[in-house]
Every structure is written in C-alpha cells, then in structure tokens.
Amino acid sequence: MGTHQQLDHVSGLIWILRHLSVGQYWGTGVDRPEQFVADLKAALSDRQLQERIAIRGQDVLPTGPCRLKILNPSEGDPVALRVLRHSGTALNNRSIVTRLRCGEHSVLFAADIEVAGLQELGEEGRQPVTFLKVPHHGARSSLDHDWIGRLQPEYAVISVGRDNPYGHPVAAVLQAYEDYNVALYRTDLDGAVWITGRLSRSEVQLTRMRDLLPQPVDPLHCLWRCERENWVRLWLQFRERSGLPFIPA
C-alpha cells in the first residue's frame, strides 16, 4: 500500500514490487511529475498490477479473522487532486489511514495525516486501539492531544530515520504520549518493531530489533551479566529466524 506520493513512503515499494510476490497495490490516485513516481508506475506495469484507489469505508481484507479497513482519504474532486501535486500538507492529509482488527486487538496506521485530517476521521479513527503508528514521524503538525486521549493506545511506534533533517520526532510529541502513559517506541533508536500474537489469546508480544542485537560488554563493570544478556539476544534471534512463536500455543 502506497500511503501517499512522497519519496519516503513509496520509493521502497519499487524494490518490493520487483523482488517479491504482490497481489494488490493500493494508492491514492494522485499523480506527481517525479522520477520515483515514474519508477513506481513502471514496476507496477511490469507486474501487471493496476493501482486500486483507496477511499474511506473500503475493506482491504473484507473476510477472515483479521479485517483491514480504510479510514482516509475521503473521496476528492479532480481540482483538489491537481492542487495536491504542489502541497505537502494536502498530500499528507490525503494519505491512506487504515485500521487493522485482529481478535481483541487493533492497530491504527496513521500514515502522515496532520491535525486537520485527524479531525476529519470518522468514529473508527477515534476509537481506542492497542497499537498506533504515530502520524507523520512525530511531527508537531500531527500533534492532537484530544485525539491521543480518545485513542488511548497501549503502544505507539514512531517510524523515523536517525538524524533526519526535519528534527522528527519533536519533544512536544514525545511528551504528549508520555503524559498519556503510552509505551512509545522509535525506529531511529529501537530499529524495526514488530508484533507477535495469536487470535486465540489476548496476549501480544512487541519486539524491538535493538533487543536482538548483541551489545558491547564492559569487562570491568558488566562482564557476566552483559554476556548473559547477549546470549539471550542471540536466542531470541534464533527463535525469530526459525519461526518459533514468542507466545506458546
């Protein structure tokens, strides 16, 4: 799913389309005169895939134990789409926001939607969730205290590059999630973050790549304890690679 036509959100999909099996591609229908957009179109054409236009209310996964529903964007007019070519804020507010429901848990993927877009989300975009992908890399333009309070996420993940030139995430966003007692994770500090669970159980396991990587050992102050922790990390790596579940059946 290409949440919106910006380089940091769809350029990586070009590699995925060229190297992995992909059955569907969902986008916003917005066109931009950028080389990465042309490359994306070429990759879709090579795989004989048509872009499916995401509109609020559609079900990406309409059947089965897990449901993925599109909450944003609402249907737009052609004039608005032409304006989007030149407006980063408009592109962000038209980005694809989805909610995944699996058993007792749900995940809200908020893309780059900003405050004005958050206020236009339907009721499903304001209901409590277990996990939240924080909007817009933790930018101030997407900080809405009332929205966070209504969502009440147990965990929130900020997808953000290390030493990015925009200063994301800003201190006000970090403080807001701390004020709501949300367990916050950041890909610039924690690496990849993923969730493991079973539909038959209420427990879920959130794992950080940082927890799986061996850390330097201080032989003077932390030899045996730090070595033991590194062996635990290696064991967790083995479990991940072998497909062993974190949560027993």
Map out the domains of the chain as residue ranges. 1-53, 55-210, 213-249
C-alpha closest to that of 155 among 122, 190, 124: 190
Fold classification of 55-210 is Metallo-beta-lactamase; Chain A (3.60.15)
Q: So what's the pLDDT on residue 239?
A: 67
Q: So what's the pLDDT on residue 231?
A: 73
Per-residue pLDDT of the chain (249 residues; tens, 9 = 90+): 888 888 788 889 999 999 999 999 999 888 888 898 899 999 999 999 999 999 999 999 887 888 999 999 987 645 455 545 557 888 899 999 999 998 888 999 999 999 999 998 989 899 999 999 999 999 999 999 999 999 999 999 999 999 999 999 999 999 999 999 999 999 999 999 988 887 777 788 888 887 776 777 777 778 777 777 767 767 766 666 665 444 433
Sequence-ordered strand ranges (E) for 19-172: 25-27, 51-53, 59-61, 66-72, 97-102, 105-109, 131-133, 155-158
What is the longest distance spanned by two Cα atoms in the chain? 67
